[in-house]
């Protein structure tokens, strides 16, 4: 294990209990780090003040320990770094690359419905039609001064103009690397800071991957499209672009992706039922 070698990370959000899909991702990260002579860090992505719960953090630590995974200290907790995310956000605002958006989710859905055949982002959400980008600056200043709730959105066209091209990243496998061209425009004017906290997942994750010196990001294919946006943010913020690998997602018996929201069985339940960590490792291909 070398401080100058590859650095990977497993970065769960403590808004539920870990399931086999998380175990796969955590074991794969640890396995790759060991093979590459690097280390794997644990990061708790708890920016969501409502959904993140201390019990889930304890559960994550207990489950990973049970699987035999240990991580260097200190374990980063994103909720402690809001000031850093705010300053990254404010930097983008100051350069005219982000604007406040006062639209509620419901309004955005209605705007999209009124627009007929709405373009969608890679997650299936309607692309933001840009209403607040076109607002009169005096009205915006007024509403900000009044404290109207708002998110901050990236002005995608301005951001792309500033970043220049070509945007992309190196995707790595055990066999080698290939260049992947990134197409962040498919996210439209993405939210970089939520109403309740001065960041979004996207901004916090690129900030922290750089802050923690992460050289290789290994995460599920469900985040593959988000990487395009992350590369854009990295270039805008002057951060290094790590190498990426997007791993397969585990499916349940009906072919659905395992997810907390669908009540996939938690590792804690398997443990309680007497399943051994070696069995989990073997089942996931890490025997
Ligand atoms: N915190 C994210 C999740 O639990 C993962 C973020 C990442 O690996 O980039 O889905």
* pLDDT tens per residue across span 133-156: 999 999 999 999 999 999 999 999
Using a 6 Å cutoff on CB, does residue 16 contact ligand 1?
no
Using a 6 Å cutoff on CB, does residue 226 contact ligand 1?
no
Closest CA to 252 of 237, 262, 240: 262
Question: Rounded CA gap, 217 and 29, in Å?
Answer: 9
More reliable by pLDDT, 258 or 102: 102
Closest CA to 191 of 157, 156, 229, 151: 151
Question: Is the separation of the CB atoms in 243 and 171 below 8 Å?
Answer: yes
Query: Residue 282: helix, strand or coil by DSSP?
Result: helix
More reliable by pLDDT, 107 or 165: 107
pTM score of the predicted model: 0.95
What is the pLDDT at residue 1? 44
Q: pLDDT band at residue 111, thresholds of 50, 70 and 90?
A: confident
| 136 CA to centre of ligand 1 in angstroms | 36
Query: Residue 224: helix, strand or coil by DSSP?
Result: helix
Which residue is listed with tokens 């349940």? 252
The average pLDDT across 26-35 equals 97
For residue 102, count other CB atoms closer than 10 A to its CB. Answer: 17
pLDDT > 80? residue 252: no
Fold classification of 81-244 is: Rossmann fold (3.40.50)
| C-alpha separations of 171 from 6, 27, 175, 227 in Å | 15, 19, 11, 11
What is the pLDDT at residue 3? 57
| 167 CA to centre of ligand 1 in angstroms | 22
Q: Which of 201, 210, 226 to mutate to test the pocket of ligand 1 (most atoms within 8 A of CB)?
A: 201
Indicate which atom in ligand 1 lies nearest the CA of residue 9.
8
Question: Is the separation of the CB atoms in 195 and 150 below 8 Å?
Answer: yes
CATH superfamily of 1-80+251-287: HUPs (3.40.50.620)
Using a 6 Å cutoff on CB, does residue 202 contact ligand 1?
no
Q: If you ran DSSP here, which 8-state letter would residue 238 be given?
A: T
The average pLDDT across 16-43 equals 97
Q: pLDDT band at residue 260, thresholds of 50, 70 and 90?
A: low
Do 1-80+251-287 and 81-244 fold alike per CATH? Answer: yes
Using a 6 Å cutoff on CB, does residue 11 contact ligand 1?
yes
Cα angle for residues 60, 256, 267 (degrees, 5° grid):
25
Indicate which atom in ligand 1 lies nearest the CA of residue 12.
4
Using a 6 Å cutoff on CB, does residue 205 contact ligand 1?
yes
Domain ranges of the chain: 1-80+251-287, 81-244
| 23 CA to centre of ligand 1 in angstroms | 13
Q: Which H or E run includes 220?
A: strand 216-220
Query: Residue 63: helix, strand or coil by DSSP?
Result: helix
Question: Rounded CA gap, 201 and 87, in Å?
Answer: 15
Question: Rounded CA gap, 280 and 277, in Å?
Answer: 5
- The residues that bridge with 217 in the sheet, in sequence order, are 244
Cα angle for residues 223, 221, 154 (degrees, 5° grid):
20
The average pLDDT across 41-63 equals 98
What is the pLDDT at residue 175? 87
pLDDT > 90? residue 268: yes
Closest CA to 90 of 8, 19, 193: 193
More reliable by pLDDT, 255 or 135: 135
The average pLDDT across 242-252 equals 93
More reliable by pLDDT, 124 or 1: 124
Q: Which of 41, 56, 219 to mutate to test the pocket of ligand 1 (most atoms within 8 A of CB)?
A: 219
What is the pLDDT at residue 261? 62
| 184 CA to centre of ligand 1 in angstroms | 18
Q: Which H or E run includes 137?
A: helix 137-146
pLDDT > 60? residue 202: yes
The region of weakest confidence among 85-99, 173-187, 241-255, 257-271 is 257-271
The average pLDDT across 80-86 equals 98
């Amino acid at each position: 294990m070398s401080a100058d070698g590859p650095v990977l990370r497993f970065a769960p959000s403590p808004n539920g209990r870990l399931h086999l899909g998380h175990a796969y991702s955590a074991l794969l990260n640890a396995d790759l780090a060991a093979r590459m002579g690097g280390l794997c860090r644990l990061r708790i992505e708890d920016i969501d003040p409502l959904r993140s719960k201390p019990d889930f953090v304890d559960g994550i630590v207990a489950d990973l320990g049970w699987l035999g995974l240990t991580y260097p200290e200190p374990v980063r907790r994103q909720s402690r770094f809001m000031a850093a995310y705010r300053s990254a956000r404010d930097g983008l605002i100051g350069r005219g690359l982000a604007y406040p958006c006062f639209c509620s989710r419901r309004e955005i859905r209605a705007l999209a419905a009124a627009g007929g055949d709405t373009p969608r982002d890679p997650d299936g959400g309607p692309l933001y039609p840009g209403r607040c980008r076109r607002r009169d600056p005096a009205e915006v200043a007024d509403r900000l001064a009044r404290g109207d709730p708002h998110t901050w959105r990236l002005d995608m066209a301005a951001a792309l103009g500033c970043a220049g091209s070509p945007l992309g990243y190196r995707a790595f496998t055990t066999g080698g690397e290939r260049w992947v061209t990134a197409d962040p425009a498919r996210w439209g004017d993405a939210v970089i800071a939520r109403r309740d906290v001065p960041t979004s997942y996207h901004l916090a994750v690129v900030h922290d991957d750089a802050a923690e010196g992460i050289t290789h990001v290994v995460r599920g294919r469900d985040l593959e499209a988000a990487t395009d946006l992350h590369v854009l943010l990295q270039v805008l913020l002057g951060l290094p672009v790590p190498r990426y690998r997007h791993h397969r997602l585990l499916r349940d018996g009906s072919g659905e992706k395992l997810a907390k929201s669908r009540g996939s069985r938690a590792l804690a339940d398997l443990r309680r039922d007497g399943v051994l960590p070696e069995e989990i490792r073997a089942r996931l291909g890490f025997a």
